Amino acid sequence: MDKMTLNDPQAPLRGTIAVPGDKSISHRAVMFGGMAKGRTTVSGFLPGEDCLRTIECFRLLGADIRRTGTDLVIDSPGIDGWQEPADILYTGNSGTTTRLMLGILAGSRVHSVIAGDESIARRPMKRVTGPLQQMGADIRGRKGAQYTPVSVLGGPLRPIDYDMPVASAQVKSAILFAAMRAEGTSVIREKEVSRDHTERMMQNFGMRVQAEEGVITLQGGQELVPVHVDVPGDISSAAFFLAASALVPGSEVVLENVGLNPTRTGMIDVLEAMGTDFGVDVSRSDDSEIRGTVTIRSSSLKATEIGGDLIPRLIDEIPIIALLATQAEGTTVIRDAEELRVKETDRIAAVAEELGKLGADIIPTDDGMIINGPTKLSGAVLDSRGDHRIGMMAAVAALITDGPVELRGPGCIAISYPEFFEHLNILRGN
């Protein structure tokens, strides 16, 4: 689908939905299941394009992965039994697949080549390949393995003591995957704690990993034990309906089985700071992930400041938070979010330009943006730029604009939320 016109009146959103499985956890469930010897089962898997790329990579390595809807059965010979892939491991637009696979393959026994689409070819990989090379990984590619395609010749690795220069769960996870295979104890230090799905899933698969006050310690050489993984709903996907319900008068939306991992709930903190009417009911907490139900109603919004250690907990939600800020009373400041410059697009520039087309008063900065509100938004032609978060932000914006919004490139939304428009129509009574 090249484009679509969104021209909805401001009718309230009402109802209950369950958002798709968490993208980050779905990736990792396949990765750990593919590395563990034996049978791993997964429920609630996100069948989005990015996660399906991860499945294809592990199939090429020799894992038998069968999918029925959102359920997976993974039978793997284990990382030591992998076959050398007969083709390039193509990761599409998935930065998570690309970066985490580098860490996994570095400690394997196979030679492989990783490549993605044009967007991935522009995204920096040295932040991952650099520390992996310090561990002794044989990784080669363009400009010193700074960009894909990248060749990885798996082999023995040394442990590492590493201070994270930026808060990045992808970089941290890639190093942790390599550290699993290193001969000795690795230590990773974070100034600001990023999402910890990898550490939690390590424990779920029987590994001992210590994480306290931003210091993660892992002894290499531990065996993975295959288990069942129940993936909660993705709070980053839920964020778009949380925002839509807060913005459209008369709305009340209930989102079930949403992941409430503390390293991911920055969006909840922002909703509270902006004065929204919402409630959270934790329905289940197990050894791996916390989940629950979130209810939100239309609200009068007030501006807030977002920065510091809050940023890693909501980095993917900043586009929709920026839209919320256009309707909030006062000036919202987002800072310390320079990581947005190296996402699927330069999200700082993309958010400012696309919302600016609608009439938003938004000023991009080097590490964030300044947004003055409230501002009346008008219809316009918006471009997703191939970024699913920008596409969903545009679709939610169309719910409150004066006039239609034409969205170019809506198909990219399927990367993380294949049922997005279906769920939007359900909540609008269509």
161 is in an annotated binding site: no
Backbone φ and ψ for 245, nearest 5 degrees, come out as: -65, -35
**Which of helix, strand or coil describes residue 27?**
helix
Catalytic residue among 230, 316, 383, 387: 316
Is residue 413 a contact partner of residue 390, using CB atoms and an 8 Å limit?
no
302 is in an annotated binding site: no
316 is in an annotated binding site: yes
CA distance 113 to 116: 10
347 is in an annotated binding site: yes
245 is in an annotated binding site: no
Whether 316 is a known active-site residue: answer: yes
81 is in an annotated binding site: no
CA distance 40 to 226: 5
264 is in an annotated binding site: no
Strands 381-383 and 405-408: parallel
15 is in an annotated binding site: no
Structure tokens given for 208: 């001992």
Output b/e per residue, 391-402; b: 16+ Cβ within 10 A.
Answer: bbbbbbbbbbbe
List the beta bridge partners of residue 68.
71
CB atoms within 10 A of CB 390: 28
236 is in an annotated binding site: no
- The catalytic residue positions are 316
User: Binding-site residues for 3-phosphoshikimate, please?
Assistant: 23-24, 28, 168, 170, 316, 343
User: Binding-site residues for phosphoenolpyruvate, please?
Assistant: 23, 95, 123, 170, 347, 389
User: Binding-site residues, please?
Assistant: 23-24, 28, 95, 123, 168, 170, 316, 343, 347, 389
